[in-house]
């Protein structure tokens, strides 16, 4: 049992990430400086990630394996992780090697400086993305370019699900998303308009090498658009 209360709770939702989980966990353990716990959340016992996850749990006291009983899907798995977290700072991170664990350090530094939500960005100075140009990447970049102007939120990477925030925010807003990774966009927009301080840090992102992406663009796109327009409306209300 991990006795000391962690500064950060890192939530890793998994689904068939057998080839990626050990690498991700090892990288986190090597580079992250603040005290942390890792919460690996899975949906069902058929997940091929589980043998790897159970070995990691047996070796490291700050890793927990939690079954998602909130309902299947990445949103519910992440919310289950948030619900069981012991740290006061939360972050959802992909287990597929795409998110850069080193960025957790600069994110946490911003939290210590008084910010409530920290958004890694692949698009500002110092950020980088290694991926093929796709409809998904084009839409992500477009939303990032327009976010500071149309929503007034100080980030150039609105839709990126890799975000760090204070747990207290979850007491002030309600996450309504039931689709996919758009929950992070919802959390940021609602948090910002509830008065929480937002900033960003550059990060490096690389497309996955092993396994199949869980991102469902055409299914989730209307949900991303909904929350974007929700943010535009919130800013419009402030201006009148």
DSSP H helices in the chain: 21-31, 50-59, 74-84, 103-112, 135-146, 169-172, 182-193, 217-239
Question: Phi then psi for 188, rounded to 5 degrees?
Answer: -65, -50
User: What is the CATH class of 8-239?
Assistant: alpha beta
pTM of the model as a whole: 0.92
What letter does residue 20 receive in the DSSP assignment?
T
| pLDDT for position 66 | 98
**Parts of the chain with a pLDDT under 70:** 1-3, 132-133, 208, 210-218
From CA 186, how far away is CA 231, in angstroms rounded? 9
Question: Phi then psi for 136, rounded to 5 degrees?
Answer: -60, -45
Q: Indicate the burial class of 15 (C-beta count within 10 angstroms; 0-12, 13-18, 19 or more).
A: buried
| pLDDT for position 205 | 87
Most distant CA atoms of the chain, gap in Å: 57
CB 181 within 8 A of CB 214: no
From CA 31, how far away is CA 204, in angstroms rounded? 14
| pLDDT for position 208 | 67
From CA 219, how far away is CA 222, in angstroms rounded? 7
Give the list of residues 6+ apart from residue 182 with CB closer than 8 angstroms, or none: 159, 220, 223, 224, 227
| pLDDT for position 178 | 83
């Amino acid at each position: 049992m991990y006795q000391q209360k962690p500064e950060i709770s890192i939530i890793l939702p998994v689904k068939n990430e057998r080839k990626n989980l050990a690498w991700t966990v090892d990288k986190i353990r090597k580079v992250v400086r603040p005290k942390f716990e890792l919460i690996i959340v899975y949906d069902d016992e058929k997940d091929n990630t589980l043998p790897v996850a159970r070995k990691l749990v047996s070796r490291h006291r700050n890793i927990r394996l939690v079954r998602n009983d909130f309902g299947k899907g990445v949103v519910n798995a992440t919310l289950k992780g948030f619900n069981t977290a012991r740290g006061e700072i939360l972050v959802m991170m992909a287990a597929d090697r795409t998110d850069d664990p080193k960025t957790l350090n600069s994110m946490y530094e911003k939290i210590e400086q008084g910010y409530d939500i920290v958004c890694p960005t692949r698009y500002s100075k110092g950020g980088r993305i290694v991926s093929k140009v796709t409809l998904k990447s084009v839409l992500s970049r477009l939303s990032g370019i327009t976010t500071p102007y149309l929503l007034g939120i100080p980030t150039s990477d609105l839709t990126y699900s890799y975000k760090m925030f204070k747990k207290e925010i979850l007491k002030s807003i309600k996450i309504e998303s039931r689709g996919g990774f758009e929950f992070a966009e919802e959390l940021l927009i609602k948090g910002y308009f509830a008065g929480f301080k937002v900033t960003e840090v550059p990060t490096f992102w690389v497309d996955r090498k092993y396994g199949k992406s869980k991102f469902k663009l055409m299914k989730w796109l209307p949900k991303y658009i909904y929350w974007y327009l929700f943010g535009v409306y919130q800013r419009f209300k402030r201006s009148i």
